């Protein structure tokens, strides 16, 4: 009988262990802390650096890189600042463009906005008079304020609008306003194999320019710079952090007006004579061109 009682007590003790363990409070794992800080950075190589339809690298290849810290106030508001650089070939012998910028990016559902300030710095510029009579602006640095909007209609279609303003375009003293519309079509993720993505996109823009400020050497007579329309259309392929963009650029600028806006040292006679183009020179820096660009873009969030 004594052995039976001991066996019953032992069985009760063993059966009670799971119950006691189940009743014990489980210590919850603390949620992962997500930092509001992020960092975007990348680089690119391209067959020509084209800015709003005009070559900035004399139709030669260019390299670029950028570094952009970001701070997320919440899920819908992001502050950012950055520095970028591109290799250029300017008439004033500036060989690099350094961009300093910052702004805020609010999002409201499918609508993404971007408001900011952008400074284009062209160090080591010189005042040069060329054999073809073109004269370079020594200090071509300038700033713009801008607003951009992009609306995602669905997974495949995004449309956008951009507006930029400067009180002195390329250091000429002429006011400049650039506005454009964009569209991007993204291919379904299953369209291409091995994680390759694809898109087609285009932009139609208008650069409106004012009157150059009097300069006894470069602009001896104040006159209006020519306004122009520019557009681009291309396709791109993405794989992981890489993008290959193949794009056609063009403008409605005549070669004579192109010379006025660029001061191309290689411009040749045969163009239209005007107040700002006294020698009737013509440049091909603004004509139709095809550009291939390979870039890599990363963020710290993507690396984790």
Burial class (CB in 10 A: 0-12, 13-18, 19+), 279: middle
What is the third-level CATH fold of 33-303? Porin (2.40.160)
Task: Determine the pLDDT at residue 301.
Answer: 77
58 backbone φψ class: left, alpha, beta (φ>0; ψ -120 to 50) = left
* Residue 100 predicted with pLDDT over 90: yes
Task: Determine the pLDDT at residue 191.
Answer: 93
Confidence of residue 32 (pLDDT cuts 50, 70, 90): low
Other CB atoms within a 10 A radius of the CB of residue 184 amount to 17
Q: Decide which of 249 and 287 is more confident.
A: 249
Task: Determine the pLDDT at residue 35.
Answer: 87
Domain positions in the chain: 33-303
Give the distance from CA 49 to its chain's centroid. Answer: 12
At residue 32, the 3 state secondary structure works out as coil
Residue 94 — φ and ψ, nearest 5°? -65, 130
């Amino acid at each position: 009988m004594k052995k039976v009682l001991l066996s019953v007590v032992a069985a009760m003790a063993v059966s009670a262990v799971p119950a006691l363990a189940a009743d014990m409070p489980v210590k919850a794992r603390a949620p992962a802390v997500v930092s509001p800080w992020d960092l975007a950075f990348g680089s690119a190589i391209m067959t020509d650096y084209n800015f709003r339809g005009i070559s900035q690298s004399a139709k030669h290849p260019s390299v670029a890189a950028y570094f952009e810290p970001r701070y997320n106030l919440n899920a819908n508001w992001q502050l950012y600042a950055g520095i970028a650089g591109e290799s250029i070939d300017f008439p004033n012998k500036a060989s690099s463009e350094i961009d300093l910028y910052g702004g805020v990016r609010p999002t409201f559902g499918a609508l993404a906005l971007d408001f900011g300030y952008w400074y284009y710095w062209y160090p080591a510029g010189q005042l040069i008079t060329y054999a073809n009579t073109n004269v370079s602006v020594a200090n071509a640095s300038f700033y713009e304020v801008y607003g951009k909007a992009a609306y995602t209609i669905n997974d495949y279609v995004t449309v956008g609008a951009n507006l930029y303003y400067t009180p002195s375009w390329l250091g000429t003293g002429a006011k400049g306003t650039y506005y454009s519309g964009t569209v991007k079509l993204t291919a379904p993720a299953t369209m291409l194999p091995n994680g390759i993505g694809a898109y087609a996109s285009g932009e139609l823009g208008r650069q409106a320019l004012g009157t150059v400020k009097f300069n006894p050497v470069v602009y001896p007579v104040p006159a209006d710079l020519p306004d122009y329309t520019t557009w681009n259309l291309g396709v791109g392929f993405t794989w992981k952090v890489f993008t290959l963009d193949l794009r056609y650029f063009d403008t409605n600028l005549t070669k004579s007006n192109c010379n006025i806006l660029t001061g191309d040292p290689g411009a040749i006679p045969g163009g239209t004579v005007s107040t700002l183009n006294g020698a009737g020179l013509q440049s091909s820096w603004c004509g139709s061109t095809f550009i291939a660009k390979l870039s890599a873009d990363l963020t710290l969030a993507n690396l984790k």
